[in-house]
């Protein structure tokens, strides 16, 4: 919530990372950042998983924008 890109920014302004249970960190590619239709207060962020992750189980994903980091979210 509350994330909106500046008019001159692309999705590259947002970064994402994942941490597995062994505390290895993986960079994730942010493919798209845009408002959710009919819910402009909410932003959709589409990320591509890192191919090096393999079958690592649950990961904690975090988004960073202009130095501000989100809470980490567990993804199974």
From first to last of the 76 residues of the chain, give the pLDDT tens digit.
678 899 999 999 999 999 999 999 999 999 999 999 999 889 999 999 999 998 999 999 999 999 999 999 999 8
Which burial class, exposed, middle or buried, applies to 35 when counting CB atoms under 10 A from its CB (0-12, 13-18, 19+)? middle
What pTM did the predictor assign? 0.86
Tell me how far apart the 2 most distant CA atoms of the chain are, in Å: 40
The CATH classification of domain 11-75, taken from the options 2.60.40, 2.50.20, 2.115.10, 2.10.25: 2.60.40
Domain boundaries, the chain: 11-75
């Amino acid at each position: 919530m509350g994330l909106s890109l500046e008019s001159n920014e692309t999705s590259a302004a947002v970064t994402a990372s994942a941490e597995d249970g062994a505390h290895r960190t993986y960079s994730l590619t942010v493919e798209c950042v845009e408002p959710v239709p009919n819910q402009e207060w909410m932003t959709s962020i589409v990320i591509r998983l890192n191919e090096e992750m393999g079958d690592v189980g649950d990961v904690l994903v975090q988004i960073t924008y202009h130095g501000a980091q989100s809470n980490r979210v567990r993804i199974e």
